[in-house]
Amino acid sequence: MTTQQDCRALDAQDPLRELRHQFTLPQGVIYLDGNSLGVLPKTAAARVAEVITQEWGQDLIRSWNSAGWFDLPQRLGDKIAALVGAGPGEVVVTDSTSINLYKVLSAAISMAAEEAPGKKVIVSERSNFPTDLYIAEGLCRERGYNLRLVEPEGILDALDKAAAVLMLTHVNYRTGAMHDMAALTAAAHAAGCLTVWDLAHSAGAVPVDLHAAQADFAVGCGYKYLNGGPGAPAFVWVKPQHADRFRQPLSGWWGHAAPFAFTPNYRPAAGITRYLCGTQPILSLAALECGLDVFGAAEAVGGMDALRSKSLALTDLFITLVEERCAGHGLGLVTPRDHAQRGSQVCLSRSQGPHAPPLRGSLPPEGAVTVLGRPGDGDSGAYAIVQALIARGVLGDFRAGSGDGRQPDILRFGFTPLYIGFEDVWHAVEHLLQVLETAEWQKPEFNQKHAVT
Amino acid sequence: MTTQQDCRALDAQDPLRELRHQFTLPQGVIYLDGNSLGVLPKTAAARVAEVITQEWGQDLIRSWNSAGWFDLPQRLGDKIAALVGAGPGEVVVTDSTSINLYKVLSAAISMAAEEAPGKKVIVSERSNFPTDLYIAEGLCRERGYNLRLVEPEGILDALDKAAAVLMLTHVNYRTGAMHDMAALTAAAHAAGCLTVWDLAHSAGAVPVDLHAAQADFAVGCGYKYLNGGPGAPAFVWVKPQHADRFRQPLSGWWGHAAPFAFTPNYRPAAGITRYLCGTQPILSLAALECGLDVFGAAEAVGGMDALRSKSLALTDLFITLVEERCAGHGLGLVTPRDHAQRGSQVCLSRSQGPHAPPLRGSLPPEGAVTVLGRPGDGDSGAYAIVQALIARGVLGDFRAGSGDGRQPDILRFGFTPLYIGFEDVWHAVEHLLQVLETAEWQKPEFNQKHAVT
C-alpha cells in the first residue's frame, strides 16, 4: 500500500517542486481544476498594475508602440510555439478558442474544396468539447458540409472518401484520453483529409509537436494549463505551407498586410498574422504573458519533458491511491491507463456502490457551492460527491453523463505538474475516501467548509 | 477675440467639471485622443487588482458564479444600453468590434436574403473605418454579395432596388462628421434595406437612440469614449424583433441556450445572448466596467445631454480659436460646423501656407514619437505638425490622406467632455500656434519634450 510518507518522498525528489512557488495557491485548497482555469502566477498582479497605471494611465495611446502592445499577439505566440512544436512567427495569440476554430476550420474547408472538391464531410468525436462541435455545425450549415460525429474507436473508419477535414481535440475534456496526433494525422492525410487540432487540454500539459505530427491547423486555450487568467485570449497555428494560401473569413484590420495604410480594400498579411482580426484585450494579454513566462523558468529544470514525467507520475499516483483506498465505493476509471493515451487529468465514473444509496432528491440547492456542470439525470452521486469535495477545499469538477447510459457522470481531476505535488494527491484521495465513507454529501451540513489537513 | 480668461470662465460654469477627477490624467499632457483610447478611470487599477488577487488568485474557478464572471457580458451590456437608447437585456459586451460586425452583418444578410432575395448589395461609405469595409468585403465574397462604396452625399442614391443592407459608422473616424441615424434608417427601410450601425465613435460621446431611430443592428467599441482600457471588449445590439429570427455564424457555447448541458447540438439562446461565442477576457471586462460606471456618475449632473452640450461647446471653441489665432497657416476645417452633423472631434486639413515650406525629407525618424498613422504621400506637413504637438504633450493624431487629392491628410483632435476642459482647448491651440509660427517641426530639436504651460 502506498503511504503518505511515500508521497512526501516523491515530492522531495521532484526536480520541479520549486516551480509551485511561482504561483499563488490559496490556503486550504487542493486545486485539481487547472485544466479549467489555471492558478495565478505571482508576477501577474504587478505586471497588470504596471500596464494599467503606467502604460495605459500615463503613456496612453503611445503605448501601442512604446510598450509593444501591437506585437503582443506575435510575442506571446512565439512563447506558445515553443510549447507545441511550432516555429517562431507561426503562432498568434488572439480572440477565443471558438473564434480561432472558426477561422481555421473555414480555411481548412476552403483548402479541401480546392484540393478535393467532392469531399463534403467534417469528421469529429461525439464527445469533443461541445463548442467545437457548435462551431463546426454552423460552418457546415453555411458551406453545405456535413458534420459526422463518431466514437473515438470509429475515427479511422470515418476517414472515408467523403471526409474532407478531421477535427479533434487532442486531449478529451471529459475523459482525459489523448489521441495519437501523428498517427491520426497520417491516417487523415492518407485518406486525403486535412486535420484541425484543438490543444485546449494539451498546451502546457503534455508534449505537442505540431511539426513532427505534420498537422495542418491548430488552436488552443490561454487560461487552462497556460495559467493566463480567466478568459485569457486563445492561440492559433497554421502550417506555414498553408498559411498564405487561404483567407480566414474574419478579415479585420489587425490581419491586414498594412493596417495603418487605412486602405479601403483588404489585403491579408503574410503568414499567421492574417489570422488576427480586431484589437485585442491588452490587460488580459499581459496576464497571459506572466503565465507563459513560468514555462521559461521550467526550461531550466527539464522543461516540457520533465513536466510530462511528473504529470504521469501524479496521475498514476492518484489512480493507485483511489484503487488502493477507495475500493468498494462504486468508482470506475474513465481515463486510459496507457500513458500514451493519457492527458494530465484523471476522470472517475461512479455507479451505485453499497455505500451510495440513491441520491435523487437530496442534492444541495444550485449555487450553494460552485460546480461547473449540472446534476446528471441519473443517481450516480457524482455531482454531490464533487460538491462535498469542494466544500472541503478539494476543487475538481463534475461533468454530467449523457443520461442514456452511453456516457457516465464524471468526477474530473486535473493535475497540473507546475504546481501540484504528490502529497496533494494523497490529501485529495484522503478527502475523497472520507466523503465516500461518511456519505457526508447526503447530510445537510456538507456545505460547510472543511479544513484541508 | 476669445481669451484664455473666457475659457477659464467656461470651465467655472461647467456642471461636468468635477467628472475629470474620476480619471487619471497624466501631468503635462492635453489628451485629445480619447476617440482612439480613452483615459484611465481611477477605480480601474484597484478593481482589476481585486479581480486578480481575490477572484482569480483565491476563489479561482468558483468565481465564474460567485463573482458573476459569467454575467459580465450582459451586466456591462445593460450599462451601455442606457447610453445608446437600447433596453435592458438588449446589449452584450463581447469580442471585438470587427468580430461583432461580422456577426450582425451575417445576420442582416440572412434576413435580407429571406425578405428580399433579389437584393445583393451592401452599401457603405468609402471612408468608413477600413476594418468595417474589410469585414464586409469578406462576407460579400462568401455570400455572393457586392460591396458598394460611395461618398456620404451619394448614400441616398445608392439605396436602390439592389441594396440589401446599409452599413455605416455613425460618426466618421476621419472627418468627425455624424450621420442622421433616424433619417438614413428611414430612407433605408423605405428602400427595403436593413441598417447596421457602428457606434465606435458615438457611444459615450454623442446621444444615440437606437429605438427611436428604428435601427436594425449596431456594434461599438469599449476602449474609446467608454474608457474601458486598451483593447477592451466591444458591444453588440440587435433589434429585439430580429434577435431570435436569425443565427450568427460564430455559434460558440456562450451563445448556446444551455451552455452547461454540454449537448453536441447547437441551440441558440434567446435574444442577444446568441451573439456571444467563446469565453471572454475577464480582466479586460472588469476594467471596462469602471469606465462605464463613470457614466452612472455623470447621470447626476445631466447625463448624456449635458455631455453632448459640453462636447459641442468644446469643439466650437476649438474651431473658433484655430480660426481666430492660426489663420494664414494653411489649416482647413474638415469637420462639419453644423452641430447636427458633428461628432465629438475636430479634424483639420492642411495645405501649404506661407509659413509651411515643403516638408518632404525633413520628417523625424519613425518611432521617435508615436503617431498612429503614416506620413502622407504629399507634403502637407500634417504628420510633422502632429508629431511636434505630441512632443509638447498635446496628443492628437494624424490620418493620412488618399494621396490622390480626394482626401486630405488630417490632424485629428478628440474632445471627450468627461475630462477635457475649456482651458485645455486654449492651451492646445496655443501650442498649435507656436508649432506653426516657429515651424519647429522642421528643426532637429522638435522631438524634445515641451512643458504644457
B47-100 pLDDT, tens digit per residue, is 999 999 999 999 999 999 999 999 999 999 999 999 999 999 999 999 999 999
Residue A317 in this model has a pLDDT that exceeds 90: yes
How large a percentage of chain A has pLDDT more than 90? 84
Answer positive or negative: Cα dihedral of B21, B27, B32, B37: negative
Instruction: Count interface pairs A-B at CB distance under 8 A.
Output: 287
Instruction: Using a CB–CB cutoff of 8 Å, tell me whether B263 touches chain A.
Output: yes
State the catalytic residue, choosing from B198, B216, B379, B424.
Answer: B198
Measured CA to CA, the distance from residue A77 to residue A94 in angstroms comes to 9
Q: What pLDDT sits at residue B218?
A: 98
Instruction: Using a CB–CB cutoff of 8 Å, tell me whether A365 touches chain B.
Output: no
Q: Which set of grid coordinates corresponds to residue A169?
A: 481535440
The verdict on a CB contact (< 8 Å) between A33 and B249 is no
Taking residues B412-423, report their average pLDDT: 98
Q: What pLDDT sits at residue B399?
A: 86
The residues near A138 (Cβ < 8 Å, ≥ 6 apart) are A102, B247, B249, B250, B251, B266
Residue B362 in this model has a pLDDT that exceeds 50: no
The verdict on a CB contact (< 8 Å) between B251 and A61 is no
Give the tens place of pLDDT for each residue, A110-146. 999 999 999 999 999 999 999 999 999 999 999 999 9
> Where residue B354 falls among pLDDT bands split at 50, 70, 90?
very low
Give the tens place of pLDDT for each residue, B373-389. 344 435 678 899 999 99
Residue B366 in this model has a pLDDT that exceeds 70: no
Give B47 to chain A, closest Cα distance, Å: 10
State the catalytic residue, choosing from A174, A224, A239, A392.
Answer: A224
Give A2 to chain B, closest Cα distance, Å: 30
Question: Cβ distance A271 to A243 under 8 Å?
Answer: yes
Give the tens place of pLDDT for each residue, B143-198. 999 999 999 999 999 999 999 999 999 999 999 999 999 999 999 999 999 999 99
The verdict on a CB contact (< 8 Å) between B29 and A279 is no
Residue A243 in this model has a pLDDT that exceeds 80: yes
Among A132, A205, A219, A229, smallest CA distance to A414 is for: A205
Measured CA to CA, the distance from residue A8 to residue B63 in angstroms comes to 31
The conformational region for residue A347 under phi > 0 = left, psi -120 to 50 = alpha, else beta, is beta
State the catalytic residue, choosing from B103, B119, B174, B224.
Answer: B224
Q: What pLDDT sits at residue A379?
A: 63
- Terminal CA-CA length for chain B: 20
Query: What residues in B contact A134, CB-CB < 8 Å?
Result: 251-253, 256, 265-266
The torsion angles phi and psi of A171, rounded to 5 degrees, stand at -115, 125
Give the tens place of pLDDT for each residue, A247-301. 999 999 999 999 988 888 999 999 999 999 999 999 999 999 999 999 999 999 9
Q: What pLDDT sits at residue B369?
A: 32
Give the tens place of pLDDT for each residue, B100-114. 999 999 999 999 999
Q: What pLDDT sits at residue B379?
A: 64
In Å, how far from its chain's centre is CA A96? 13
> Where residue B134 falls among pLDDT bands split at 50, 70, 90?
very high
The verdict on a CB contact (< 8 Å) between A137 and B56 is no
Question: Cβ distance B60 to A29 under 8 Å?
Answer: yes
Query: What residues in B contact A64, CB-CB < 8 Å?
Result: 37, 230, 370, 372
Q: Is B223 a catalytic residue?
A: yes
Q: What pLDDT sits at residue B344?
A: 98
Residue B445 in this model has a pLDDT that exceeds 60: no
Among A409, A418, A407, smallest CA distance to A125 is for: A407
Question: Cβ distance B53 to B46 under 8 Å?
Answer: no
Q: What pLDDT sits at residue B181?
A: 98
Residue A52 in this model has a pLDDT that exceeds 50: yes
Instruction: Using a CB–CB cutoff of 8 Å, tell me whether B252 touches chain A.
Output: yes
Query: What residues in B contact A140, CB-CB < 8 Å?
Result: none
Taking residues A347-359, report their average pLDDT: 58
Instruction: Using a CB–CB cutoff of 8 Å, tell me whether B190 touches chain A.
Output: no
Q: In whole numbers, what is the pLDDT of chain A averaged over residues?
A: 91
Taking residues A18-24, report their average pLDDT: 98
Q: Is A129 a catalytic residue?
A: yes
The torsion angles phi and psi of A349, rounded to 5 degrees, stand at -105, 170
Give the tens place of pLDDT for each residue, A397-423. 998 887 777 778 899 999 999 999 999
State the catalytic residue, choosing from B23, B102, B129, B173.
Answer: B129
Q: What pLDDT sits at residue A439?
A: 81
Measured CA to CA, the distance from residue A360 to residue A366 in angstroms comes to 14
How large a percentage of chain B has pLDDT more than 70? 91
Q: What pLDDT sits at residue A381?
A: 85
Question: Cβ distance B280 to A224 under 8 Å?
Answer: no
Answer positive or negative: Cα dihedral of B378, B381, B386, B388: positive
Instruction: Using a CB–CB cutoff of 8 Å, tell me whether B65 touches chain A.
Output: yes
The verdict on a CB contact (< 8 Å) between B52 and A44 is yes
Q: Is A337 a catalytic residue?
A: no
Taking residues A70-83, report their average pLDDT: 98
